[in-house]
């Protein structure tokens, strides 16, 4: 038996025993609604089912939609809601990772005009593609039902057909200082430190505002190799630090049919291509960092699909951050050469933080306009 098969069997056995034990303790299945996304013709509804104690307030409670107006009253209401979310998630990060998922549970999704019946996968995840849903562009709520669980509302973003530009951003070391994925520091940042003490990369929120200043209808996606368990605190972090709202595309750290751990690179490659397929009319800005493999992943996409990319921005980690990230003082991936940029037609800018990237962006736009 391959080691990946053995790891998967061990995980399934432990989870089955955990589920039985939780049921005996009075726990019930609880649905976590992730932020879904789609076009006016198709929609991805995402979520997960885990065991939860009905006596405790869930860390994964459904959040209200953003205020529909930009009035002072709406901003105050939003601030109070985010403060409440923060207080509920300001706890030791390790608590986010200890969940008992419910695999193969019957699930029903109500999205617009459609009702879809399905089951969770072996890890309790829900990923339903709804065709011809009838929802208009903008933010909506869909209902997810599961056997023995309370129904919940999950947010979904329907991208406007007129949208021609979009942003796909990494999270770790791009917008948030976490020093991932080095194991010891990842454990400290994600499991030990309080979830409301993570720091934003200086100037990145301002850089995103500048990048999208002339495309107000641009959809924003956050693509990370982080675990889905961290979703609530990441949403709070992005909102409270002024980043644009958008779906988060995270992953699962468990074993796969071919490996003990899932490949972060393959997760990013797959999700990037899924977004290109779902939104063929959009040109994307890609933003990442050079602490791991973002430059290589973005370069590969630029080689294969240059017409779908509007530009690439790479945050350069300083030598200390590089060491903390992967053990060396230099980036593990080289820059794209100027010849590659000319051949693919996808411009790339570099900077150590959002302010330097914003300066590089303004210089590029000025040069382009001359």
- Kindly give the confidence (pLDDT) of every residue in the chain, 370 residues in length, as a single tens digit, with 9 standing for 90 and above: 566 565 556 556 666 666 667 666 788 999 999 999 999 999 999 999 988 888 775 544 444 444 444 444 454 455 445 444 444 444 444 444 457 889 999 999 999 999 999 999 988 999 999 999 999 999 999 999 999 999 999 999 999 999 999 999 999 889 998 655 445 544 544 444 455 557 899 999 999 999 999 998 999 999 988 878 778 778 888 988 999 999 999 987 554 444 444 556 898 999 999 999 999 999 999 999 988 789 999 999 999 999 999 999 999 987 666 555 555 555 665 555 555 555 578 999 999 999 999 999 999 999 888 7
Structure tokens at 297: 């992943």
- Output the CATH code of domain 162-370: 3.40.50.1000
Exposure string over 152-173, b if 16+ CB within 10 A, otherwise e: bbbbbbbbeeebebbbbbbbbb
Neighbours of 279 (CB within 10 A): 21
Reported pTM: 0.81
Q: What is the dihedral of CA 183, 186, 187, 188, to 10 degrees?
A: 130
In whole angstroms, give the CA distance from residue 112 to residue 115. 8
> 154: part of which helix (H) or strand (E)?
strand 152-158
**Residue 274, strand partner residues:** none
pLDDT at residue 17, rounded to an integer:
67
State which H helix or E strand residue 144 sits in.
strand 138-146
What is the model's pLDDT at position 243?
Answer: 96
Look at phi and psi of residue 112 and say left if phi exceeds 0, alpha if psi is from -120 to 50, else beta.
Answer: left
What is the C-alpha separation between 153 and 110, in angstroms, rounded? 10
Parse the chain into domains and list their residue ranges. 12-158, 162-370
* Secondary structure element (H or E) that encloses residue 278, with its range: helix 264-278
Residue at token pair 């006016």: 40
- Beta carbons of 106 and 9 less than 8 angstroms apart: no
User: What length is written for the chain?
Assistant: 370
């Amino acid at each position: 038996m391959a080691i990946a098969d053995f790891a998967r069997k061990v995980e399934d056995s432990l989870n089955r025993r955990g589920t039985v034990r939780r049921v005996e303790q009075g726990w019930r299945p609880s649905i976590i609604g992730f932020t879904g996304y789609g076009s006016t013709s198709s929609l991805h509804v995402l979520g997960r089912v885990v065991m939860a104690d009905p006596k405790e307030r869930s860390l994964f409670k459904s959040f209200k939609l953003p205020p529909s107006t930009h009035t002072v009253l709406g901003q105050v209401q939003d601030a109070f809601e985010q403060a409440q979310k923060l207080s509920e998630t300001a706890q030791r990060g390790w608590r986010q990772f200890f969940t008992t998922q419910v695999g193969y549970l019957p699930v029903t999704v109500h999205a617009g005009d459609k009702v879809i019946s399905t089951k969770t996968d072996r890890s309790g995840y829900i990923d339903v593609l709804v065709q011809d849903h009838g929802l208009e562009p903008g933010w909506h709520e869909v209902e997810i039902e599961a056997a023995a669980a309370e129904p919940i509302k999950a947010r979904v973003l329907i991208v406007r057909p007129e949208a021609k530009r979009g942003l796909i951003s990494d999270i770790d070391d791009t917008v948030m200082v976490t020093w991932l994925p080095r194991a010891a520091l990842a454990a400290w940042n994600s499991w030990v430190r309080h979830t409301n003490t993570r720091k934003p990369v200086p100037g990145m929120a301002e850089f995103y505002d500048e990048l999208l200043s002339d495309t107000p209808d641009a959809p924003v996606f956050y693509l990370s190799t982080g675990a889905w368990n961290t979703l609530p605190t990441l949403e709070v972090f992005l909102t409270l630090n002024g980043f644009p709202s958008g779906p988060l595309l995270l992953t699962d750290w468990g074993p796969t049919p071919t490996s003990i751990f899932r490949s972060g690179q393959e997760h990013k490659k797959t999700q990037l291509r899924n977004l290109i397929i779902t939104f063929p009319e959009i040109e994307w800005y890609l933003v990442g960092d050079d602490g791991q493999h973002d430059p290589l992943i973005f370069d590969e996409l630029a080689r294969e699909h240059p017409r779908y990319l509007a530009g690439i921005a790479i945050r350069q980690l300083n030598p200390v951050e590089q060491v903390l990230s992967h053990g060396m003082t230099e980036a593990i991936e080289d820059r794209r050469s100027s010849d590659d940029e000319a051949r693919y037609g996808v411009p790339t800018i570099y900077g150590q933080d959002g302010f330097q990237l914003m300066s590089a962006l303004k210089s590029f736009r000025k040069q382009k306009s001359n």
